[in-house]
Amino acid sequence: MVVPGELLAAIAFDSAGLVPVVAQDAHSGTVRMVAWANAEALTATLATGAAHFWSRSRQALWRKGESSGHTLAVREVRIDCDGDVVLYLVDAEGPSCHTGATSCFFRRVAPDGALQADDGPPESPARVLSRVAKAIAARRRERPEKSYVVSLLDAGFEKINAKITEEAGELAEALPQGDAAHTAHEAADLFFHSLVGLEAAGVPLDLVFAELQRRFGVSGIDEKAGRKK
């Protein structure tokens, strides 16, 4: 079992021995929910990797999803600068709100001051790449009839690489034309077929994101010069 002694010592628990916990989707950045935790809940979270909280109404430890099945797998536990708020970075299974909404923050203040309900804060625009990659992986597993993705994967790298080359050429042709909508269309085609290629090669998109992250703060010239031949 993980014994979070350093973490517990750094947290400014309130008079009831509790600290607020924000659960944030590790992929989309969406805040899923806010609850409370005590030392026992934090210890259980670190030991199991499943989000645990403390119920103030029931005065009991609880694991998110123990009755609904809508679990939160915790990737990281972080604390803020003052130690009085904890952040769980999570992979969420199903909605996180007891109402069935994706996020407990499903009401927003409209320009006229009225409250309007939706499904929660929007995902970051870049999140769509991960969603497309997951959809491609699902097509590979489920093999629906008349699936373009399945036809590409079944045809193999010769067909996939030909499509990537074709779409790259079409994007290169579109770039100098000054038609933003058309250029975006061609770029989307290239992104899509590249994701199919990554799925066929067994390369997770997170690995690509990690490589891009690694390159921040590094000169492009130095980065290319440092690559293995």
Summarize pLDDT for 12-29 with one digit per residue, the tens: 999 999 999 999 999 888
Mean pLDDT of the chain: 93
**Residue 223 pLDDT class (50, 70, 90 cuts):** low
For residue 3, what pLDDT is reported?
Answer: 56
**Residue 226 pLDDT class (50, 70, 90 cuts):** confident
**pTM listed for this prediction:** 0.67
Flag whether pLDDT at 228 surpasses 80: no
Dig out the tokens for 146 from the structure.
Answer: 């008349």
CATH class for the region spanning 5-117 = alpha beta
Other beta carbons less than 10 A from residue 33's beta carbon: 24
Q: How far apart are CA 207 and CA 188, in angstroms?
A: 20
Please work out, in degrees rounded to the nearest 5, the angle formed at the alpha carbon of residue 68 by the alpha carbons of 94 and 72. 50
The count of C-alpha atoms lying within 13 angstroms of the C-alpha of 21, restricted to the half-sphere facing its C-beta, is 24
The CATH 3.10.20.810 domain(s) of the chain lie at 5-117
Flag whether pLDDT at 1 surpasses 60: no
Flag whether pLDDT at 211 surpasses 80: yes
For residue 59, what pLDDT is reported?
Answer: 96
Q: How far apart are CA 160 and CA 53, in angstroms?
A: 47
Q: How far apart are CA 180 and CA 218, in angstroms?
A: 29
The CATH 1.10.287.1080 domain(s) of the chain lie at 127-225
Q: How far apart are CA 145 and CA 37, in angstroms?
A: 47
| Residue found under tokens 């924000």 | 22
Percent of the chain with pLDDT over 70: 96
Comparing 124 with 225, the larger pLDDT belongs to 124
Flag whether pLDDT at 129 surpasses 70: yes
Q: Classify domain 127-225 at the CATH topology level.
A: Helix Hairpins (1.10.287)
Summarize pLDDT for 138-190 with one digit per residue, the tens: 999 999 999 999 999 999 999 999 999 999 999 999 999 999 999 999 999 99
For residue 75, what pLDDT is reported?
Answer: 96
For residue 216, what pLDDT is reported?
Answer: 86
Summarize pLDDT for 29-56 with one digit per residue, the tens: 899 999 999 999 999 999 999 999 999 9
